[in-house]
Amino acid sequence: MLLVYLLAIFLSAALLFLVQPMAAKLVLPILGGSPSVWNTTMVFFQALLLLGYFYSHLVTKKLPRLAQGVVHAGVIAAGAIMLPIALPKVIGTPGAGDSPTLWLLMLLPLVAGVPFFVLTTTGPLLQSWFASSSHRRAKDPYFLYAASNIGSFVGLLCFPFFLEPRFDLAEQSAWFSRGYYAFAALAALCFVFAWRGGARTATVAPSASVPPAAPITWPTRLLWIALAAVPSSLSLSVAHAITTDIAPVPLLWVLPLSIYLLTFVVAFSSRIRVRPEFAGVLLLPVALSLLEVRFAGTALPNELVFAVHLLLLAVGALMCHTRLAASRPAAAGLTEFYLWLAVGGVAGGLFNAMLAPKLFNAALEYPVAVAAACCLIPSRHAATDRRSLLYSVLAALAIPTLAVVAVQWLEARGAIGHAAVPVSKFLALIAACVLVAIPLRGRFIRFGLAVMVAFVYSMLSARQQGGALLYVERTFFGIHEVYQSGDRTRLVHGSTTHGMQSDREELRRTPLSYYHPDGPLGDAMRRAQVEGRPADIAIVGLGVGTTAAYSRSGDRFTFFEIDPAVVGIARDPGLFTYLADAQGTIDIVLGDGRASLARESRRFDLITLDAFSSDAVPLHLLTREAIATYRQRLKPAGAIAFHVSSRYLALGPIISATVAATNTPGDPDPMVVVSRDDLLTRDEGATTGRYPSTWLLAMRRSEAAAMIAAFSESPNPARHWRAIPVPRMKPWTDAYSSIWSALVPAFAKDALEAAEASAPPAPK
């Protein structure tokens, strides 16, 4: 019997973690590569998880056992009717005045809402059935929650490492349907065991010999919500930090979520015992180590920075989850316990995905989550009254602030050199955090708040090191910061510079960074701008409007940009003047580049794909369907330019294979791909403002041969264009893409990093 329960709960949890990425990938080509697609999908499924837990709690408390089985059989059957997971046959797109978020929230229930809802109900409901059985372990069924999280962990890894590289979305959906039918059979067996075993219904009064369970109070419920919300927020914060500020590799989001799930497994395991007090003590030095990482910026190896972020998540989540496990109620309160855990999980997700971008212009949700975790460390010296709590808060805010003020006072009087100020501030803040953690009432509250204050100072210090901060704005697409250092102004997103302009009059109209006239894009522009004929050029991704500097009188440049904040930055003459100085006609179309190009009726001499999220190119812009759309918008001799400069993705071979897949069989002049790697020394990059870059050009084979020949005589090999052979690999489509086929070692130190190191450092 126990094995059947374990298999049913394990399988349902594994399937649960396959639904969200499948559903999100289905709608991604419709709404574009906006992170809000993923954020909205995540919030929808978190809300559905809460609804599923509420259903389980309601059914077990209000219905007798037989009625529970009948009702749940109907719910499982409804989920089966909605299979396979796919887009509706008749589907439109949001209109110009419609909200994409609301449109997506209305679509997702039709795509996968019912099967996902069914799977969310399984854990609490089956544990409730098992708890009322005669099995010797029925009195404490929470070990089944560990099995559920193991299943979630397996499902999480299964999608990117097994399903996505091997199968397209239709095949993935077929595998999911088979798994769902197997789960339905196991759930039916679980109910048969519970019913035939004479399990008592949840509405039957307990025997007089069994003492009633202690009532669940509101302070306990609020504690459960907090202990569930903080790890949820920490997980999202760590994922944001390592995929935006350190290494923007899409697969890395799996690591934080895996650690988050594994801490649940450890906390609720019947064989592994970890005291929350022990995890709490470990959290103190790890939080201070994270503070050191924030101050050090790019000085530390990526491997060490990764380890500190992930270790903090592991220790913080383990402390919270072991406290949850220690405070779990008797089996009679099991479904309510899981309901409040779901409330906390949704609260943490909403804080990071929806609330924080509105409240903060920096990633302050991370230090807030760290501070909250520290405040939740169990302690014998807890602040039990308002006065001690107030004193703890005041001390946590005042002491770190006084430490920073003292360093600045010493600097003003020459006691500390300017170069030593960052290190002095770091040491002063560490000392302040240690000081407030003395064993008195509210020690961990003081420590947590002091760490949060220290984090804020570290962010301010990092921004000062990046140069004079001229502008900062946060949107769903990221945090955009504009810095001025020396005679150059830069737009930074994460750890990547997204555009740069010189303030010197003789260089103000010269495209810099990845778009320099001596670089690959300069070659592509000169090819498209035939003398005596106006050029019509499309650019997906605005940045600071650098490529507008190439426009001549009579040319028409059309930029497609998804983020309104970027448009505002590029148009602000107080920040950048490339658009204002352009000689040709400049149009800006707001929206996803692929979708906007599909609506265009014009044909272009050159289509440039320069859309980035930090250091990663949105994958939906590189599929066979996307490239087919671009080809329809090209003139006969036109070309598609792909900007693929990346420290972590080698996109040349996969783009070559995907472009080849759009050719018509027997075409005498098919489209092929050529590339140029523009490598520079550090000194060259520092003096010219030119960054190393890699660009690909997709064009007719005859045009590509002429392009290669035109530069073959150059004595500088870095000026040569070369053909990329078509590899024997599966092209990317809207239904199939695997990041594994383009992933390169994430910690390689390449020429791009060396060139960016020569410029003023990007803020960390």
DSSP per-residue string spanning 155-178: HHHHIIIIIHHH--HHHHHHHHHH
Q: What is the pLDDT of residues 648-660, one digit of tens each?
A: 778 889 999 999 9
Burial of 87 (0-12, 13-18, 19+ CB in 10 A): middle
490 vs 472: CA distance, rounded Å? 12
pTM of this prediction? 0.79
Distance CA 583, CA 549 (A): 8
Report residue 26 as tokens: 């289905």
Query: Per-residue confidence at 203, pLDDT binned at 50, 70, 90?
Result: very low
Query: Around Cβ 403, how many Cβ atoms within 10 Å?
Result: 23
What is the C-alpha to C-alpha distance for residues 592 and 124, in angstroms, rounded to an integer? 41
How many Cβ atoms are within 10 Å of 208's Cβ, its own excluded?
7
* CATH number belonging to domain 1-91+100-201: 1.20.1250.20
SS3 710: helix
Query: Is the pLDDT confidence value at 749 over 50?
Result: no
Radius of gyration of the chain (CA): 29
Residue of higher predicted confidence among 588 and 27? 588
In DSSP terms, which residues pair with 643 in a beta bridge? 695
The token pair that represents 591 in the structure block: 């929206």
CATH number for 508-758 (one of 3.40.50.150, 3.40.50.720, 3.30.300.20, 3.90.1410.10): it is 3.40.50.150
Nearest CA to 623 out of 25, 103, 20, 172 is that of 25
Half-sphere exposure of 96 (CA within 13 A, CB side): 4
* For residue 247, pLDDT beyond 60: no
Between CA 551 and CA 585 the distance in angstroms is 8
What per-residue confidence (pLDDT) applies to 681?
Answer: 64
The answer on pLDDT for 11 being more than 50 is yes
Say how far apart CA 169 and CA 733 lie, in whole Å: 10
Q: How far from 6 is each of 3, 142, 190, 285, CA to CA, in Å?
A: 5, 12, 10, 38
Amino acid at 377: I
What pLDDT score does 764 carry?
29
Instruction: Report which of residues 241 and 641 the model is more confident about.
Output: 641
Task: Outline where 466-550 has alpha helix (H).
Answer: 520-528
Average pLDDT of span 243-259:
70
Q: Kindly provide the residue ranges of all beta strands, DSSP E only, lying in 286-343, ordered along the sequence.
A: none
Amino acid residing at 580: A
Per-residue pLDDT of 156-201, as tens digits, reads 888 888 888 888 888 989 999 999 999 999 999 888 887 776 544 4
What are the residues whose beta carbons fall under 8 Å from the beta carbon of 426, sequence distance 6 or more? 291, 292, 295, 458
* Range 474-503 average pLDDT: 84
CA neighbor of 568 nearest in space, from 659, 664, 491, 459? 491
E strands, 585-648, in order: 585-590, 604-609, 634-643
Residue ranges of alpha helices (H) inside 376-420 are: 386-412
Q: pLDDT tens, 93-149?
A: 665 555 666 777 888 888 888 999 999 988 888 888 888 777 787 787 888 888 888
As a whole number of angstroms, the distance between CA 163 and CA 173 comes to 10
Distance, CA of 99 to chain centre = 22
User: Which positions ≥6 away from 323 have C-beta within 8 Å?
Assistant: 223, 227, 276, 376, 378
**CA 129, chain centre distance (Å):** 37
7 pLDDT exceeds 60? yes
**Per-residue pLDDT at 521 exceeds 80:** yes
Cα(257)–Cα(280) distance, rounded to whole angstroms?
A: 20
Q: Is the pLDDT score of 274 beyond 70?
A: yes
Closest among 361, 643, 647 to 480, alpha carbons compared: 361
d(CA 231, CA 238) in angstroms, rounded, equals 10
Stretch 443-454: mean pLDDT: 83
Q: What is the pLDDT of residue 682?
A: 63
- Closest by alpha carbon to 370, among 220, 557, 165, 231? 231
Contact 638, 699 (CB under 8 A): yes
| pLDDT, average across residues 729-749 | 69
- The reply to whether omega before 84 is within 30° of 0 (cis) is yes
In this prediction, what percent of the chain has a pLDDT beyond 90? 28
The count of C-alpha atoms lying within 13 angstroms of the C-alpha of 672, restricted to the half-sphere facing its C-beta, is 22
* Rounded mean pLDDT, 576-598: 91
Q: Provide the sign of the torsion angle of the four alpha carbons 447, 354, 236, 651, taken in this order.
A: negative
**What's the confidence (pLDDT) of residue 248?**
52
Q: Where are the domains of the chain?
A: 1-91+100-201, 386-465, 508-758
Percent of the chain predicted with pLDDT > 70: 84
**Residue in 517, 558, 561 with CA at minimum distance from that of residue 542:** 561
Can you tell me the distance from the alpha carbon of 333 to that of 216, in angstroms, rounded to the nearest whole number?
Answer: 8
Helices 218-240 + 365-375 axis angle, to 10: 140
Which pLDDT score, from 0 to 100, does residue 375 have?
A: 87
Tokens in use for 10?
């394990």
Q: Which of 726, 577, 607, 590 shows the shortest CA–CA distance to 659?
A: 726
